[in-house]
Amino acid sequence: MSLQQIPSGAAAIAVNELHVDYHGVTALDGVNLTIEERRICGLIGVNGSGKSTLFKSLMGLVQPTRGSVRLFGLDSVQSRKLNLVTYVPQSEDVDWTFPVCVRDVVMMGRYGRLGPMRRARRQDREAVDHALDRVGLADLQHRQIGELSGGQRKRAFVARGIAQDAALMLLDEPFAGVDKSSEGALVALFRDLRDEGRTILVSTHDLAGIPQLCDEAVLLHRHVLAHGTPGSVLTNDNLARAFGPLPAAAGTAALEETPDGLA
Ligand SMILES: Nc1ncnc2c1ncn2[C@@H]1O[C@H](COP(=O)(O)OP(=O)(O)OP(=O)(O)O)[C@@H](O)[C@H]1O
């Protein structure tokens, strides 16, 4: 299924009363969240607030104790089968010593679309070439993935999602370990992907960067504390509830001086 063929009418993400426990540790406790198509939504919260668990729940990688997840009106198995969703995990969750080159990683985005012989066809190779060009990694495509810088690694995984033509991109801390100029290039890329019709949920600790990047923001603390425009979410009151009391003159103005945020 291509971007043009996604089921219409349903929200890109619809989470209803989602609870996730890990052997007695409650990671998510009654999350309700709707994100419409063609939006960039920033996901923020302290370490341990459940951001990665929410991503994994959307991908069907962890089993909820209760509640439901729908992507474009479909459950996570169906939405993955139709190649609608891609996930860029946190760097810690990736084995960077794995003997694959950048091109191999991007080609993984085509696996769900390969023909009956499971061999890459011309359209698969062209999709990979196009994705590598878009993220500026064509020259490095034969490098082992672990030989790339932090920003290049993230771009390789984003390219995998572009090659897949995923309508929904789940990006877990894509700016961690990325220098400022690479971060600017990623922000511009994410906005272009949104303008093409994709939906992006992106977790970040860079609170000061959210108004420039995101159409909306979600403040998570095992459940949704606030959801709305960046301005309505990034208030001193909300941030104090999520992160604890802030220093005097806090809020987004102060966060601009500490761009890595509070977490
Ligand atoms: N596999 C696991 N087994 C047990 N507990 C887990 C597991 N994964 C996460 N947790 C716990 O669930 C809670 C939420 O973790 P999660 O990684 O989803 O938060 P997070 O907001 O993504 O944190 P961070 O910003 O540090 O990545 C934490 O208390 C964490 O310790």
- Least confident span in 90-99, 136-145, 160-169: 90-99
Going by pLDDT thresholds of 50, 70 and 90, the confidence category of residue 188 is very high
**Residue matched to tokens 């090659």:** 163
- C-alpha 194 – ligand 1 centre gap (Å): 28
Residues 148, 133: Cα–Cα separation, whole Å: 16
Atom 5 of ligand 1, nearest CA residue: 22
Residues 51, 203: Cα–Cα separation, whole Å: 7
- C-alpha 49 – ligand 1 centre gap (Å): 7
Going by pLDDT thresholds of 50, 70 and 90, the confidence category of residue 2 is low
Q: Which residue has the higher pLDDT, 255 or 146?
A: 146
Atom 29 of ligand 1, nearest CA residue: 48
- Least confident span in 74-88, 175-189, 210-224, 233-247: 233-247
Give the amino acid at 69.
Answer: V
Tell me the chain's radius of gyration from C-alpha atoms.
18
Single pTM value for the model: 0.89
Pocket of ligand 1 (CB under 6 A): 22-23, 25, 27, 45, 47-53
Convert the pLDDT of each residue in 53-89 to its tens digit: 999 999 999 999 999 999 999 998 899 888 899 999 8
Atom 6 of ligand 1, nearest CA residue: 22
Beta-carbon contacts of residue 24 (< 8 Å; ≥ 6 apart)? none
The DSSP bridge pattern shows strands 199-203 and 40-44 to be parallel
Atom 25 of ligand 1, nearest CA residue: 47
> What pLDDT is stored for residue 176 in this prediction?
86
> What pLDDT is stored for residue 257 in this prediction?
36
- C-alpha 123 – ligand 1 centre gap (Å): 39
Convert the pLDDT of each residue in 16-64 to its tens digit: 999 999 998 999 999 999 999 999 999 999 999 999 999 999 999 999 9
Mean pLDDT of 126-130: 96
> What pLDDT is stored for residue 68 in this prediction?
95
How many CA atoms are closer than 13 Å to the CA of 77, on its beta-carbon side? Answer: 1
